[in-house]
Structure 1
Amino acid sequence: MTMGRLGRVDTVLTGRAVPYTRQGTTSAIAKQAVQGPASVGFLGLEGDEQADRRFHGGPDKALHHYAFDHYEAWRGELGRQHPMLARPGAFGENLSSHGITESTLCMGDRLRIGSVLVEVSQARQPCWKLNDRFGWNGMARRVQDSMRTGWYYRVLEPGVLQVGDAIELVNRPHPAWSLARLLELLYVRTLDLDQLALALALPLTPSWRALVERRLARGEVEAWAPRFDGPQTTA
């Protein structure tokens, strides 16, 4: 694999945790574009927050990247005038770009963005907050089924990035394992035990390693409904 430029940063976004649509919940999914250089530490962008650290944020999910390339497909499916799709940020992403997707990135890829060195840690597991954000209870499942999920980075070298920075591939240790291949294994070929066993050689996050090990041990797929449905509230 030739190292080099994969794309460029089009938008950088941050958000604060605020009360969300369901009673008793908070979220920072409604992120806003920021201008100028943005500092990035081991836990992500300065000024960015995550409401529920059990499932969001932390070293393995320091930055969320979503391909703006996918927005056109979503407009075709959800309507060209859908207000969430008018600009980057619909999916709670920190970085928006053209030119790279889940099909062109691989697990463990190391990328230089500005002065920041990041590593692709996992694809996103869509949750109920996307249902509420898009006003449709099937949105989280649709994002999963489409495999247009976006992905996360862990930060290996903190630094500064901004709009216009090149996204440079520095190292690709697992060229056979695109994010798209892993997503297909997790959500389509869910009990392909041979492939699941091979996936254990990847630098999986602890939660994904546990998921793969459970499938191998039990021969069954974990329940997805709690992630899709979220907390239930009463009037």
Structure 2
Amino acid sequence: MSEPASAMRVSIDAVLTGVVRPFGPKGVPSGIAKTATRARIRVSATGLEGDGQGDPRHHGGPEKALHHYAFDHYPAWRLALAEQGAAGDGVLDTPGAFGENLSTTGLTEADVCIGDRFRLGTALVEVSQARQPCWKLNHRFGYAGMSRAVQQSLRTGWYYRVLETGEVAAGDVLELVARPCPGWPLHRLLQVLYVNRLDYAALEQMAALAPLAESWRKLARQRLERREVEAMERRLSGE
């Protein structure tokens, strides 16, 4: 994680937006189904113009303005779904399977740190948190264990907050311009959250990590105070 900021530049392969539609067996409102566009899109403090979220309590907002998922992970997911006998109805054929707004190749959770600032087209964005997968992925992929598999794989994707508004289009460059927390790659953050869940020393550092979204810092504080891990089943299964 020591490379200079100028060394981390990737092309934005796809910019994706979606409107809110009924989703899943209960028809809950969701904007998870997104499609790529070649148009230049306005990046505001709450995300891409024309992009919708059906559940504003858990999705969207300033701390989850943009969702980025690495297309690098798609081959592994195709294999994993095939092993489970779940075809996914071709959802992994193109970017957007995970409801992401940005798709790239060459940048994963091992490369990106909390607080990283990127020039995104003409906007400036900052990595605010990783994703906590929810039950909607189970219906999206036709596999009841998908949200749990994403969590266990640590291939979750991540979110940005928008520091400077601007515009972005596919083909633009995503370039790292600042790295204030080189010791906190997303892979490490996810290890603390989902693997070494009661690593108290790491949780103390996580709770004090200024660029990390407050909801994640609060989660770390709660684990430290209660000496236990919060329930996750409802988020993962929807039950």
TM superposition score category, shorter chain reference = over 0.9
Whole-angstrom CA distance in 2 between matches of 1:221 and 1:147? 17
- SS state of the match for residue 170, structure 1? strand
Residues 68 and 103, structure 2, Cα contact 8 Å, conserved in 1? yes
Aligned ranges for residues 15-54 of structure 1 at < 5 Å? Answer: 15-54=18-57
Whole-angstrom CA distance in 2 between matches of 1:87 and 1:171? 30
Shift of 1:9: 0.2
**Superimposed CA distance per residue, residues 34-53 of structure 1 (whole angstroms, 9 cap, x where no aligned partner):** 11211110000000011101
**Superimposed CA distance per residue, residues 10-63 of structure 1 (whole angstroms, 9 cap, x where no aligned partner):** 001000111111325110000011112111100000000111011000000000
Indicate whether 1:74 and 2:77 are aligned. Answer: yes
**Superimposed CA distance per residue, residues 115-145 of structure 1 (whole angstroms, 9 cap, x where no aligned partner):** 0100000000000000011111100000000
Whole-angstrom CA distance in 2 between matches of 1:209 and 1:22? 34
Shift of 1:93: 0.2
Whole-angstrom CA distance in 2 between matches of 1:22 and 1:230? 12
Residues 208 and 217, structure 2, Cα contact 8 Å, conserved in 1? no
Q: Tell me whether 5-14 or 110-119 shows the greater mean CA deviation.
A: 5-14
Aligned ranges for residues 37-186 of structure 1 at < 5 Å? Answer: 37-79=40-82, 82=88, 83-186=90-193
Provide structure 2 residue ranges, at least 5 long, that are not aligned to the other structure. none
- 2:63 is matched by which residue type in structure 1? D
In the other structure, the counterpart of 2:17 is 14
Whole-angstrom CA distance in 2 between matches of 1:67 and 1:112? 17
- SS state of the match for residue 75, structure 1? helix
In the other structure, the counterpart of 2:4 is 2
- 2:215 is matched by which residue type in structure 1? S
Whole-angstrom CA distance in 2 between matches of 1:93 and 1:21? 18
- 1:106 is matched by which residue type in structure 2? C
**Percent of paired sites with the same residue:** 56
Q: Tell me whether 69-78 or 184-193 shows the greater mean CA deviation.
A: 69-78
Whole-angstrom CA distance in 2 between matches of 1:8 and 1:112? 12
Q: Tell me whether 43-52 or 69-78 shows the greater mean CA deviation.
A: 69-78
- 1:180 is matched by which residue type in structure 2? H
**Superimposed CA distance per residue, residues 200-235 of structure 1 (whole angstroms, 9 cap, x where no aligned partner):** 22122121111101000000000000101115xxxx
Whole-angstrom CA distance in 1 between matches of 2:82 and 2:142? 13
Whole-angstrom CA distance in 2 between matches of 1:76 and 1:137? 16
Provide structure 1 residue ranges, at least 5 long, that are not aligned to the other structure. none
In the other structure, the counterpart of 1:220 is 228
Whole-angstrom CA distance in 1 between matches of 2:13 and 2:82? 23
- 1:90 is matched by which residue type in structure 2? A
The TM-score normalised by the length of structure 2 is 0.94
- Counting matched residue pairs gives 231
The TM-score normalised by the length of structure 1 is 0.95
Runs of 4+ that moved beyond 6 A = none
Q: Tell me whether 198-207 or 108-117 shows the greater mean CA deviation.
A: 198-207
